[in-house]
């Protein structure tokens, strides 16, 4: 979706790296975050100051190869090393579909996936430190604002990838102990594979850095410098473009869904956005669509020519699906047209059935 914006404004973030530059593993030898480019760290802090969505003062910026690596590094950093059992990793449903897979991917002995945070009880574990809660806010897939639900003192990892003003009102600067962000959801540059964590505790930041060192021996300096140029070029125009585009797309989606009662969407409440200085409405990056008449929504949409991800992957039933709202314009228009056709066909079928009953 952001491609149109950068085609018009991309000259400001052109990055030139000469053949002899950035050849070392190291960006700095003065700190345990030896692989983090200072220029990128500076731009990250300035961006959050501009938007007002997260506190960075007095905190460490840990850069990773996308938020996926940072998520794994965060689990490694806060998992207890001396527990008799691996820490239970939980997240309230519907949770991000990759959490279970990423948590258990390496079959680690220090943490394991344990499902829905709402069903997790501290009595199930030996101590209050034997769990890790994951909170995505705004949530992927349903766009709702989330908070920790386990009543305990275990570590909480906040994934705030979508806490930007084009997706949701910025109501306050988040100041959690650990917060994950990514370039891809802010600017659209998913291919650069750059994310960052804002971390309060020095030891946790150091543990994350150690994971990244063992995993990939740091983070690409080329990608970091490009990301720094991209963030440096950001002004209010990007977020105004994003908000306007997301608002238009959500209006079209809601119009298509309202044709009949075959599909439904979550409802969101407007709130005052400190960045825009006015009340704005949430426009999530994904449509969390429910099929009200069909038990397998993914298959129904597939028959209509729409690809989606089943709600089963997010810890709920197959009557829900997640659909991206961030595709290129042509693909988005095709999606709306096909969804409208399915909704209209359902309305026509209902009308025909009603007429038959009257006869």
> What are the sequence ranges of the domains in the chain?
3-232, 236-358
305: left (phi over 0), alpha (psi -120 to 50) or beta: left
147: left (phi over 0), alpha (psi -120 to 50) or beta: beta
Topology agreement, domain 3-232 and domain 236-358: no
Contact between 96 and 313 under an 8 Å Cβ cutoff? The reply is no
Please report the DSSP string for 151-218 in residue order: -SS--EEEE-TT-STTTS---S-B--SEEEEEHHHHHS-GGG--EEEEES-HHHHHHHHHHHHHHHSS
Tokens of 180: 């994950």
Whether this prediction's pTM lies above 0.85 is answered by yes
More confident of the two residues 31 and 90: 90
Tokens of 343: 């909704």
pLDDT band at 128 (very low <50, low <70, confident <90, very high): very low
Rounded to 5°, angle at Cα 272 from 269 and 276? 125
Nearest partner of 266 among 131, 168, 151, judged by Cα: 168
Report whether pLDDT(230) > 90.
yes
pLDDT band at 13 (very low <50, low <70, confident <90, very high): confident
63: left (phi over 0), alpha (psi -120 to 50) or beta: beta
Tokens of 193: 């594979």
**What sign has the CA pseudo-torsion 197, 202, 203, 206?**
positive
Tokens of 90: 């939980």
Residue 111 to residue 122: CA distance in whole angstroms: 16
Please tell me the predicted confidence (pLDDT) of residue 291.
97
Q: Which residues in 306-340 are b (16+ Cβ under 10 Å) and which e?
A: bebbbbebbbbebbbbbbbbbeeeeebeebbeebb
Coil, strand or helix at 289: strand
Residue 192 to residue 295: CA distance in whole angstroms: 38
**% of the chain beyond a pLDDT of 90:** 86
Tens digits of residue pLDDT in 177-187: 999 999 999 99
C-alpha distances (whole Å) from 71 to each of 101, 103, 167, 178, 207 are: 12, 9, 21, 10, 13
Please tell me the predicted confidence (pLDDT) of residue 352.
46
Residue 352 to residue 359: CA distance in whole angstroms: 11
Contact between 184 and 196 under an 8 Å Cβ cutoff? The reply is no
Residue 227 to residue 212: CA distance in whole angstroms: 18
Across 239-253, average pLDDT: 98
Highest mean pLDDT among 33-47, 128-142, 335-349: 33-47
Nearest partner of 240 among 51, 12, 72, 7, judged by Cα: 51
Please tell me the predicted confidence (pLDDT) of residue 347.
59
Please tell me the predicted confidence (pLDDT) of residue 235.
83
C-alpha distances (whole Å) from 220 to each of 38, 50, 80, 206 are: 13, 26, 29, 19
Tokens of 120: 């997790």
- Of the CA atoms within 13 Å of residue 201, those in its CB half-sphere come to 13
Nearest partner of 185 among 53, 288, 326, judged by Cα: 326
Give the range among 99-108, 125-134, 240-249 with minimum mean pLDDT: 125-134
Q: CATH classification of 3-232, choosing from 3.10.180.10, 3.40.640.10, 3.10.20.30, 3.90.1640.10? A: 3.40.640.10
Assign a CATH topology to domain 236-358.
Answer: 3.90.1150
**What sign has the CA pseudo-torsion 58, 36, 62, 194?**
positive
Report whether pLDDT(357) > 60.
no
């Amino acid at each position: 979706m952001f491609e149109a914006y950068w085609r018009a404004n991309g000259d400001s973030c052109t990055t030139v790296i000469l053949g002899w530059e950035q050849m070392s593993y190291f960006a700095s030898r003065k700190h345990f975050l030896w692989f983090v480019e200072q220029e990128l760290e500076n731009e990250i802090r300035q961006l959050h100051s501009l938007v007002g969505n997260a506190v960075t003062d007095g905190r460490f910026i840990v850069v990773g190869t996308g938020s996926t690596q940072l998520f794994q590094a965060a689990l490694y950093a806060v998992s207890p090393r001396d527990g008799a059992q691996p820490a239970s990793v939980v997240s309230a449903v519907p949770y991000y579909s990759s959490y279970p897979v990423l948590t258990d991917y390496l079959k680690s002995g220090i943490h394991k996936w344990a499902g829905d945070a709402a069903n997790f009880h501290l009595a199930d574990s030996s101590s209050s430190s034997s769990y890790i809660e994951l909170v995505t806010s705004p949530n992927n897939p349903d766009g709702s604002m989330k908070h920790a639900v386990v009543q305990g003192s275990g570590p909480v990892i906040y994934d705030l990838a979508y806490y930007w003003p084009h997706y949701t009102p910025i109501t306050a600067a988040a100041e959690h102990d650990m917060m994950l962000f990514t370039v891809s959801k802010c600017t659209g540059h998913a291919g650069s594979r750059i994310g960052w964590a804002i971390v309060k505790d020095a030891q946790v930041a150091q543990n994350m850095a150690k994971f990244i060192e063992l995993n990939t021996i740091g983070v690409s300096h080329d990608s970091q410098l490009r990301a720094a140029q991209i963030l440096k070029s950001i002004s209010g125009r990007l977020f105004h473009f994003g908000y306007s585009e997301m608002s238009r797309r959500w209006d079209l989606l809601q119009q298509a869904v309202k044709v009949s009662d075959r599909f439904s969407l979550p409802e969101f409440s407007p709130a005052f956005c400190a960045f825009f200085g006015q009340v704005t409405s949430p426009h999530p990056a994904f449509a969390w669509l429910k099929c009200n008449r069909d038990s397998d929504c993914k298959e129904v949409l597939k028959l209509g020519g729409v690809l989606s991800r089943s709600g089963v992957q997010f810890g709920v039933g197959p009557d829900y699906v997640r659909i991206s709202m961030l595709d290129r314009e042509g693909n988005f228009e095709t999606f709306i047209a096909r969804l409208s056709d399915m909704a209209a066909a359902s309305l026509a079928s209902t009308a025909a059935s009603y007429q038959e009953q009257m006869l």
